[in-house]
Structure formats: structure tokens, C-alpha cells
Amino acid sequence: MTDGQERAGGMDSAEPTAAPARPAAAPGGAYDIAAYDTVEAAVRAQLAKALGGRRGILEAAVPTIAFTLSWITTEQLRLSLAISIGTAVLLLVVRLVQRSTPQFVLNSLVGIGIGAFLATRTGEAKDVFLPGILYNAAYAAGMLLSIVTRWPVVGFLVGAITGEVTAWRSDPGMVRLCSRLTWLLLAPCALRVAVQLPLYYADQVAVLGVSKVVLGWPLQVAAFAAMVWVLARGRTPIAKSDRA
């Protein structure tokens, strides 16, 4: 064992013995499958990482809250957009100063930027929310298609974890599990469209803003909790020998 390996081992020993919230980094940034004993545990970790934790949830919600509050109090489109974009930029600067990943702030900033472009072109404040509605509709349609064709999108996550991109399709039980998990991912997107599209056509800008926050990360976290419950009932072993 090299000195570098000994130091790495010493650092690892200081970590909690429970399953880590995110996988250890493998050489070249690959996913470290050895960190988990079951496919379900690895999928749970990947889903948790995708949510971005509490900070990622907050960073996604704050710019929308800022826009909605400003619009309710002033009904000034450009001012509300400036406050929303400024809030997102401030969050991005904090991330950069702390040298932490800006992924979730950038996602929020891109969405706000597209919505702001549409709204300033049309002069309609409701168009700030149109990209999000279209995104959720497309996402729901894509996931529904994947379920109908028996290529559920969650299956590819399992394939990435196990190292066999499509091998999971040979197991009918795994296909059913991945389909159920994909339904749980699809549900929040479909619900957002069902609620927000009528509000969009009714020009209910303030209610749209509130619904975007309420049906955003809180709903996604609820879906994630349901997925964790489904995954907690199974213990599919990972064949680590196949990865050697």
C-alpha cells in the first residue's frame, strides 16, 4: 500500500459507517459502485444527489419567490424580473466564492433567463412561467413513452450504476420496478402541468408563482420519498466481481 493510499484510508476511517449520501469518486470521476451493497441503495444515493440537498432546493425556489413577491407588491414586470435574476446571480456568486458546485443555481438561472426573455418580448408576466410548464409537459411525455415502450428511464440509471446499460431489461422484475419508479418521477411533472396550465391561460400570475414554489421541490421531495419507500423493500445485490 502506498503512502497516498494509507492517507486515503485514514480519511475514509473518519467517515460515518452508514451508507454515504453520495458515492465516493472513482478514478476519472466514475461512479464508485463498491460504495454500496445493493442496487436499491445506489439508486437512492443517485436520486438524493440529483435533488441537490436542502441548499439545492432553496436555490431553486428563492428566485421564483422573489419574482412572485415583487410582482404581487408592484406589478412591475421588469423590476420583478431584475429582482429575480439578481437573486439568482447573487446565489451563483456565493457558490463561486465558496468553490462549491453551481449546478443547481445555474439550472435556476437558465430557466429564469428563458422566461424573462419571453416575458419581455410579449409584455406578459405569465410568460415567465411558460418554459417551466412546457418543460414539465415534455418531461412527462418522454417518461410516459419510456414506460409504454418498456424502456423506463430509471432503468438507465440502474444500468449506469451496475455498468450494464441495458442488461436490466432481461429481468422482468427489474423492468417492473423501474417502471414504478419512473411513474413516481412522472407524477409531479404531470400534476404541475395540470395545475399551472389553466392558471396560465387565466392570467393568474401571482397564483402561478405560488404554485410553482409549492409544486416545485416540495412535490419532488415527496416523490423522492415515495421512491425511497419502494426501493427500501428490495435488496438486489450488486455483483462486484463483474466490475473487477
Report the pLDDT averaged over residues 229-240.
Answer: 65
- Residue 35: which residues within 8 A CB-CB, separation 6 or more? 19, 20, 23, 24, 42, 45
In contact, 243 and 163? CB cutoff 8 Å: yes
In contact, 146 and 169? CB cutoff 8 Å: no
Range among 54-63, 205-214, 233-242 rated most confident:
205-214
In contact, 142 and 122? CB cutoff 8 Å: no
- Mean pLDDT computed over every residue of the chain: 77
- The angle that helices 77-98 and 103-122 make with each other, rounded to 10 degrees, is 160
Q: Residue 38's beta-bridge partner residues?
A: 237
Rg (CA), the chain: 21
0.85 surpassed by pTM: no
- Which element (helix H / strand E) includes 2? none
| Residue 48, pLDDT score | 64
| Residue 143, pLDDT score | 95
The cell for 124 is 406578459
Q: Residue 237's beta-bridge partner residues?
A: 38
Quick one: which of 62, 35, 73 has its CA closest to 238? 35
In contact, 159 and 167? CB cutoff 8 Å: yes
Quick one: which of 194, 192, 225, 230 has its CA closest to 48? 225
In contact, 211 and 193? CB cutoff 8 Å: no
Range among 64-73, 109-118, 130-139 rated most confident:
130-139
Helix (H, G, I), strand (E, B) or coil at 34: helix
Helix (H, G, I), strand (E, B) or coil at 14: coil
Quick one: which of 45, 57, 46, 1 has its CA closest to 19? 45
| Residue 134, pLDDT score | 94
| Residue 102, pLDDT score | 78
With cell 420583478, the residue in question is 80
Residues 182, 140: Cα–Cα separation, whole Å = 10
